[in-house]
Amino acid sequence: MALLPILSFPDPRLRTIAKPVEQVNDEIRQLAADMFETMYAASGIGLAATQVDRHIQLIVMDLSETKDQPLVFINPQVTPLTDETQPYEEGCLSVPQIYDKVERPSRVKIEALN
């Protein structure tokens, strides 16, 4: 596994539209593993492939306190299940040490390859 450099805002590459993953192969699996290593080393809970300069629809997350529940989402589609929203304090590894409350739907459905 390898630590990957994380792009920092205002790097224009962060605005690149990610393409769908067409085939899950060893290269995609290795990228996901490297992204987890990078995310954990940066004390993050989520990382998108675009943040490591790979412009494909791949996200890794681990919301657990013990960092032992890794999730991989490939080609994710997020659908709100309610009009209700809740504020969540969020940060971003591409905008270090900046946190703010963001309104998000209270419930969502996520469809993705994993």
**What average pLDDT score do residues 71-87 get?**
97
Q: Is 86 within the bounds of a domain?
A: yes
Mean pLDDT across the chain: 96
What's the pLDDT at 39?
Answer: 98
Helix (H, G, I), strand (E, B) or coil at 81: coil
Q: Is 61 within the bounds of a domain?
A: yes
What's the pLDDT at 114?
Answer: 64
CATH code where residue 73 lies: 3.90.45.10
Q: Is 63 within the bounds of a domain?
A: yes
- Which amino acid is it at 56? I
pLDDT digits (tens, 9 = 90+) for 85-111: 999 999 999 999 999 999 999 999 999
Q: How confident is the model at residue 113 (pLDDT cuts 50, 70, 90)?
A: confident
Q: Is 16 within the bounds of a domain?
A: yes
pLDDT digits (tens, 9 = 90+) for 44-74: 999 999 999 999 999 999 999 999 999 999 9
Q: Is 5 within the bounds of a domain?
A: no
Q: How many domains does the chain have?
A: 1
Q: Is 2 within the bounds of a domain?
A: no
Long-range contacts of 90-96 (CB under 8 A, 24+ apart): 91/44, 92/9, 93/6, 93/39, 93/42, 93/44, 93/47, 93/51, 94/6, 94/7, 94/8, 94/9, 94/11, 94/14, 94/51, 95/8, 95/9, 96/8
What's the pLDDT at 37?
Answer: 98
Q: What is the pTM of this model?
A: 0.92
Structural domain containing residue 67: 12-113
Q: Is 69 within the bounds of a domain?
A: yes
Q: Is 73 within the bounds of a domain?
A: yes
